[in-house]
Amino acid sequence: MGVGPRALLYRLGCLWHRREVDVWHDAAYRLPLSGLEFTGVDPRRADFAAWWLRESKAIAPAWWRKPRRASYADLARVHTPELLDSLSRPDTLAGIFGVDPTDVPVDEVMRTVRLATGATVEGARETLRTKRPALNLLGGFHHAGPGSAGGNCPVNDIAVAVAAVRADGFAGKVAVLDLDAHPPDGVARCLAFDPDHWIGSISGSDWGALDGVDETLLPAGTGDIGYMDALKPLLARMPKPDLAFVIAGGDVLAGDKLGRLALTLTGVRWRNVTVAAHLEGVPAVWLPGGGYSPSSWKALAGAGIALSTGWMQPIPDDYDPLAARFAGIARGLPTDVLSDTGELTETDLAEALGIRRPQQRLLLGFYSASGMEYALQRFGVLSQLGRLGYGHFRIEFDRAGLGERMRLLGEADGREHLLIETILERRRAAGHPVLYVHWLSLRNPRAKFSDRRPQLPGQDVPGLGLAREAGEMLALMALRLGLAGVVYRPAHFHTAYPGRHHFTFVDPSRQGRFEALVRDLPEGMGIADVTQEIDEGRVLLNGEPYAWEPDEMVFWLREPPEEPGEVAHECERCHFTFLPSTPGAKEPGANPPVLRP
């Protein structure tokens, strides 16, 4: 957690090397779509990259730029009224982002899209003026054509920016270097009538011939060397531009859900450093394009590092952007704001006089309801819930069975909804005091289940897409209360799997069986499908039907207790096999695939 010595060294290196780059980012770059992660997109990518670029000092405080929304007049220079009209409908945006229409708050989604597009426009103007490279942490929507949107691309920010600078009177040559793993079909259609442009691209998917594009198609699994062998001649063929757009796609990374080129993070950095050096002195706008793997934020942050420092130094493996960010916020939260101030309130008086039934005042003997609400605000949870359409938040505490319950309620559509519910207890596990999480539910009652958003066992409504944030907050609560860890009992495989990097089963042999199960999972199987396969008896352990064991898992916040090799021993002993399921019973890709450790 926090910043390790390697991150500190990184800072020094960055300070030593860096050159000026203007970087556009906004907290609203996070798309307010609670089901987005089911599509392989991490809506936190821009935030993670921004946090690392700040933290590492690769980008100085004065170089950050706040975007303004592109106007509809800007968009209308490129796009047809029919396309722009359609973007005011939830079903159109749902189709573009691969989510359910009930999950789409239209105005907020369009705010994100217009902010990103506005930044690409502003970045183009700024780089033409200053000759410094511009990096926009969201954009490169290269599949949108004049009259049609594409996957994750409602409008074409590059074409909108080109049209804007042309309208300003810029008459020079524009080059678009598309290094996303997919072809620039939309860019080619939008720029077809631009008087002076060149489009070059390296792709790992064959979408047929594209007019006006210098396209290099590489086979699946190309890797770093083959990619660089194709990049160098492409750069040599690129005419010297007066304004360049670089789509520094993160979906070229190995393990990407949609891209197939299988580059390493080192390879992606090498690519970016090479392109940045080639474009030295040329006004250029850099954009992220696609990226559908957990490392795609590192590819994007790496583009910023390539531009500012030209460095090949990797981002430290142990750096977790969310943990570092949240730990920093927690350090800035004073105890007296989170806990009871000791002042007598009207409610205290009413209770003392017997006019009002006594309420539980503090959660776990520490957090006041207003303190908890303040913390949720500071961690950005309430603003995200606001973008999902909820407001007028209220927190309640009471007792529930063995634990203490906290509920966060919020209003939408004229009534109050339960959004977050958790039941917590201070308890001992493996001889240490821990925060025991009996129950945690993150609910988005405005959204509906669908093929794109399958119902998982234990869910009554879709989730909020805030599970990682909730996990970090629970760990920070435990730390503040002086506890040694966080414990929960995953009732299913799909509730154990996402926490596997932090949590281990308390019982080492149970951990060994879990690791063996993860090792033996069939390639590409969805997380929810594994739960279903186990529930339906199609998973065998050493030849015998296997039933899920809902045992305690713990995230140790201090040194974990010693473990003399029992985990590895049990893992070696256990072999899981999956019986074939009924063909056609499941649509592939409806839930996120299990990722290899």
- The residue ranges that bind Zn ion (CB under 5 A) are 180-182, 251, 290
Q: What gap in Å lies between CA 473 and CA 384, rounded to an integer?
A: 15
The string of DSSP codes covering 542-579 is TTEE-------EEEESSPPPP--SHHHHHHHH--EEEP
Q: How many helices (H) and strands (E) does the chain have?
A: 21, 20
Q: Which residue is nearest to Zn ion (CB)?
A: 290
Q: What gap in Å lies between CA 59 and CA 62, rounded to an integer?
A: 8
Q: What gap in Å lies between CA 57 and CA 61, rounded to an integer?
A: 8
Q: Which is nearer to Zn ion, 26 or 251 (CB)?
A: 251
CB of 204 to Zn ion, least distance (A): 9
Q: Which is nearer to Zn ion, 181 or 324 (CB)?
A: 181
Q: What gap in Å lies between CA 127 and CA 243, rounded to an integer?
A: 8
Q: Which is nearer to Zn ion, 181 or 506 (CB)?
A: 181
Structure tokens at 45: 């990518």
Q: What gap in Å lies between CA 519 and CA 500, rounded to an integer?
A: 13
CB of 35 to Zn ion, least distance (A): 20
CB of 182 to Zn ion, least distance (A): 4
Q: Which residues are paired to 135 by β-bridges?
A: 23, 286
Q: Which is nearer to Zn ion, 560 or 589 (CB)?
A: 589
Cα–Cα separations (whole angstroms), residue 568 to 358, 487, 499, 547: 52, 22, 19, 21
CB of 120 to Zn ion, least distance (A): 17
CB of 178 to Zn ion, least distance (A): 9
Tally of CA atoms within 13 A in the half-sphere of 413 that contains its CB = 8
Q: 3-class SS at 324?
A: helix
**Count of other CB atoms within 10 angstroms of residue 339:** 16
CB of 223 to Zn ion, least distance (A): 18
Q: Which is nearer to Zn ion, 139 or 508 (CB)?
A: 139
Q: Which is nearer to Zn ion, 181 or 306 (CB)?
A: 181
Q: Which is nearer to Zn ion, 141 or 436 (CB)?
A: 141
Which parts of 407-565 fold into alpha helices (H)? 467-480, 493-496, 508-520, 527-535
End-to-end CA distance of the chain: 20
CB of 346 to Zn ion, least distance (A): 57
Cα–Cα separations (whole angstroms), residue 181 to 170, 178, 205, 396, 503: 30, 8, 7, 48, 34
Q: Which is nearer to Zn ion, 25 or 257 (CB)?
A: 257
CB of 158 to Zn ion, least distance (A): 14
Q: Which is nearer to Zn ion, 182 or 443 (CB)?
A: 182
Q: Which is nearer to Zn ion, 299 or 406 (CB)?
A: 299
CB of 153 to Zn ion, least distance (A): 9
Structure tokens at 496: 């154990």
Structure tokens at 94: 């749902």
CB of 151 to Zn ion, least distance (A): 8
Q: What gap in Å lies between CA 347 and CA 359, rounded to an integer?
A: 9
Question: What contacts 462, CB < 8 A, 6 or more positions away?
Answer: 34, 35, 100, 103, 443, 444, 447, 448, 449, 453, 455
345: phi then psi, degrees, rounded to nearest 5: -105, 170
Q: Which is nearer to Zn ion, 181 or 305 (CB)?
A: 181
Q: What gap in Å lies between CA 31 and CA 388, rounded to an integer?
A: 10
Q: Which is nearer to Zn ion, 184 or 490 (CB)?
A: 184
CB of 20 to Zn ion, least distance (A): 29
Q: Which is nearer to Zn ion, 22 or 251 (CB)?
A: 251
Structure tokens at 502: 């932090």
CB of 141 to Zn ion, least distance (A): 10
CB of 270 to Zn ion, least distance (A): 19
Q: What gap in Å lies between CA 241 and CA 175, rounded to an integer?
A: 6
CB of 567 to Zn ion, least distance (A): 39
Q: What gap in Å lies between CA 500 and CA 591, rounded to an integer?
A: 18
Q: Which residues are paired to 415 by β-bridges?
A: 412
- Per-residue HEC secondary structure of 31-82 comes to CCCCCHHHHCCCCCHHHHHHHHHHHCCCCCHHHEECCCCCCHHHHHCCCCHH
Q: Which is nearer to Zn ion, 4 or 223 (CB)?
A: 223
Among left, alpha and beta (phi > 0; psi -120 to 50; other), residue 151 is: beta
Q: Which helix (H) or strand (E) holds 440?
A: strand 432-442
